Amino acid sequence: MTGVSQLTVQDITDSSATLIWTQPLVQYETYNITFTSQEMDQQINLQVVGSLTTFTQTGLAASQEYTVSIVGEINGRTGDETTTEFITLISGPTNLQVVKTTSTSAVVQWEQSQGEIDRYRLTITPNDGAGRPQEMTIEAGQSSAHIQQLEAGRLYDVLLVAEKGVVLSQPATIQVVPGNTFPAATTEDFTLLVTQAPGQDVGSISKDFSSSVIARTRPLVNKVMARNGTRPKIRRPTLPRDQVIITCWRTTLLTNIFSGIFTLIIIVTFLNKIISVNVLSNLLNQLG
């Protein structure tokens, strides 16, 4: 009976591969699939349902050449065998990271590949697509590289692969901007303004700072923390000049009014006394 056709292998990694095939006119009940590695004397046998046209195998060894075969089966009878070959990727580097930058360079490091490799290849490409990529070949035993001739403030894509012969590993990638590193700030480098509202806990403000500031619940008030821990000078609230002039004018006017009223009262009292004395004197003269 006719076997499957167009058997191909896709999505190959250092430990897995995906098979894709086209079913024949015969509808098989099951497919028997075998993965064989001559170098490691490894063979994996499995059976899948006949309705499948794709299958992913995991648990393969890195950097190994495999022969894979697939045979259909129905009612105890088997069809023709179809085979193909592929090579798994080598174990690649992991945890690629930038550990230092200057205005024109960067240092990257990584965890080395687990399997045997010939070298690492590092590719640095400007993210904006302008300019030529830079390639570096690094010995297999190395776990860091110093990238030079970069432009400050420009974004670069960094790609690292392991190589064994013509076989490449899966890439480890990261981005870097030369000169884009800053020392951690401290409380001496800035003045912090904290606004507290009733019933709220502002909490700790300590992100990347050498010390933290905790603001607790108090009535609504603004606090200013001065540099070097010194107590800030308190500025009393002052009125605008126009308001000060108006206030002084009103105070003077009221003072003059009250002073005039008091003087008038004294004059009236004095006149009343004079009138009373004159009336009494006239009476005495008439009686005498």
Distance CA 103, CA 100 (A): 11
Q: Is the dihedral of CA 207, 213, 214, 219 positive or negative?
A: negative
Partners of 94 in the beta sheet? 111
Question: pLDDT value at position 207?
Answer: 41
pLDDT tens figures, 213-271: 333 334 444 444 444 455 555 455 555 555 555 556 667 777 778 777 878 888 878 77
Question: pLDDT value at position 249?
Answer: 62
Length of the chain: 288
Distance CA 39, CA 131 (A): 43
Q: How far is CA 121 from the centre of its chain?
A: 29
Question: pLDDT value at position 175?
Answer: 95
Distance CA 136, CA 208 (A): 34
Distance CA 123, CA 171 (A): 10
- What strands, in cross-sheet order, belong to the sheet with 5-10? 5-10, 16-22, 54-58
Distance CA 79, CA 51 (A): 15
Contact 73, 30 (CB under 8 A): yes
Q: What domains sit in the chain, N to C, each tagged with a CATH number?
A: 5-87 (2.60.40.10), 94-176 (2.60.40.10), 187-229 (no CATH)
Distance CA 163, CA 121 (A): 7
Question: pLDDT value at position 226?
Answer: 44
Local mean pLDDT, 10-residue blocks, the chain (288 residues): 92 94 93 91 92 95 92 93 93 93 94 90 94 93 94 94 89 90 42 44 41 37 45 53 58 75 81 72 67
Question: pLDDT value at position 279?
Answer: 65
Contact 75, 152 (CB under 8 A): no
Question: pLDDT value at position 4?
Answer: 93
- 70, burial (CB in 10 Å: exposed 0-12, middle 13-18, buried 19+): buried
Question: pLDDT value at position 180?
Answer: 63
Q: What are the φ/ψ torsions at residue 139 (nearest 5 degrees)? A: -60, 155
Can you read off the two tokens belonging to residue 2?
A: 């006719």
Question: pLDDT value at position 173?
Answer: 96
Q: Where are the alpha helices (DSSP H) in the chain?
A: 241-287
Q: What are the φ/ψ torsions at residue 152 (nearest 5 degrees)? A: -60, 135
Residue 216's contacts (CB-CB under 8 Å, 6 or more residues apart) are 196, 201, 202
Contact 7, 70 (CB under 8 A): yes
